[in-house]
Amino acid sequence: MTRADLPCILGMEQSEFLTPWSEESFRHAIETPNGLNLICQRGDEVIGFLTGLVVLDEAWITNLLIAREHRRCGFSRRLLACFMDRARVRGALHVFLEVRQKNEAAHQLYNKLDFQKIGVRRQYYSDTREDAWVMRKTL
């Protein structure tokens, strides 16, 4: 992911999320030394992205989105696999993420990839006051 990808990423983010990340948030993700940020392309078109970071032996996935018309085609799985491979190379032993309690599609994907629910952040999402499940996968 580079700054050149931001216009497309911001458009996707704003069309899909009630409280989208700001351009500043994405710039910070790109510029942080611990960042591990990926895009998914089909031809020249950006169809998805993943932001995350690796700190010591932990990797955190902070944002993941695939464009609606490209969902259920395996792109999330590929992004996650690439992220986990690169995180492992950087020394990560575990990958963590937070996911909305009601996001059944994401739960199914993460369960297939052997993520385990390890906790709940009550009323974590400010837009809906929905709980977030904290999930972990050992690499």
The pLDDT tens digits of the residues spanning 100-128 come to: 999 999 999 999 999 999 999 999 888 89
Burial of 119 from C-beta contacts in 10 A (0-12 / 13-18 / 19+) = exposed
The predicted structure's pLDDT at residue 132: 96
List the domain range (segments joined by +) for residue 87.
Answer: 3-138
pLDDT for the residue 127: 86
Check if 110 is active-site: yes
CA terminus-to-terminus distance, the chain: 23
Which position among 24, 31, 69, 110 bears the catalytic label? 110
Task: Collapse the DSSP code of 35 into the 3-class scheme (helix H, G, I; strand E, B; otherwise coil) and give the result.
Answer: strand
* Burial class of residue 31 (count of CB atoms within 10 Å of its CB; 0-12, 13-18, 19+): exposed
Q: Is the pLDDT of residue 138 over 90?
A: yes
Q: What is the pLDDT of residue 34?
A: 97
Output the pLDDT for position 33.
96
The tally of domains found in the chain comes to 1
**pLDDT tops 90 at residue 18:** no
117 bridge partner residues: 135
- For residue 34, report the phi and psi dihedrals to the nearest 5 degrees: -90, 0
The domain that holds 82 is classified in CATH as: 3.40.630.30
pLDDT in tens, 22-80: 999 999 999 999 999 999 999 989 999 999 999 999 999 999 999 989 888 999 999 99
Residue 13 has pLDDT above 90, yes or no: yes
- Active-site option among 98, 124, 125, 130: 98
Q: Are 20 and 12 in contact (CB under 8 A)?
A: no
Long-range CB contacts (within 8 A, 24+) of 134-138: 134/96, 134/97, 134/98, 135/96, 135/97, 135/98, 135/99, 135/110, 136/94, 136/95, 136/96, 137/84, 137/94, 137/95, 137/110, 137/113, 138/93, 138/94
